[in-house]
Amino acid sequence: MIGAIVLYASILLWGILCGAVVYEHLAIIPVWASNPPESLAMWTGPYPVKSMHFWPFIHPVIIVTLLAAIGLNWGNDARNLIALAGVGYVLAVLLPTAIWFVPELLHLINPETDLPSEQWRRRAKRWEALSLARGVVVLALIVPLLIAVDIRG
């Protein structure tokens, strides 16, 4: 019973993550990536967007619930699917985010970045395209969790 509840909590949190990914790609990223450095006012202006209040919170909570769901579902086949989602999340989302996405984003949105405008725009568009691919992975990785619910019965 508790294993199912924690699995549902993982799915709920993953759904929140998916919603945030879709929102960022529809409303936030196209704006800041459209015409840097001018379009960066949303980060550096008097009322900046504060996405950093959400992202550092959601990732550890998802990891903890996934680990708990794996442990609490150890006696059934759902654990393999939960582990698949967790490993995919770490390898395809969290590691690239820590290694490249966050450092590149911080560089691009820094108003003191000294890049020619065309290079700045090109790098912002590359970041946007690669982030979209990462977002597709996030959306796809909810599937093993949903199948895990079905396996549990």
pLDDT digits 0-9 by tens, 13-40: 999 999 999 999 999 999 988 988 888 8
- Indicate if the pLDDT at residue 102 is higher than 90: yes
pLDDT at 50 over 90: no
Is the pLDDT score of 153 beyond 80? no
Q: Is the pLDDT of residue 133 over 90?
A: yes
User: Binning pLDDT at 50, 70 and 90, where does residue 97 land?
Assistant: very high
8 close to 103: Cβ distance less than 8 angstroms: no
Which residues in 69-97 are b (16+ Cβ under 10 Å) and which e?
A: bbebbeeeebbebbbbbbeebeebbeebb
Distance between CA atoms of residues 151 and 2, nearest Å: 15
CA distance 55 to 99: 15
Q: What percent of the chain has pLDDT over 90?
A: 73
**Does the pLDDT value for residue 127 go beyond 90?**
yes
Q: Give the highest mean pLDDT range of 116-120, 142-146, 149-153.
A: 142-146
Map tokens 């294993």 to a residue.
Answer: 3
Q: What are phi and psi of 107, to 5 degrees?
A: -65, -45
pLDDT at 115: 86
Higher pLDDT, 144 or 41: 144
64 contacts 9 by C-beta, under 8 angstroms: no
Categorize the per-residue pLDDT at 6 as very low, low, confident or very high, splitting at 50, 70 and 90. Answer: very high
pLDDT at position 111 over 80: no
Q: Give the whole-angstrom CA distance, residue 64 versus residue 62.
A: 5
Does residue 53 register a pLDDT over 90?
no
Q: Write down the pTM of the prediction.
A: 0.91
Residue 148's pLDDT is 96
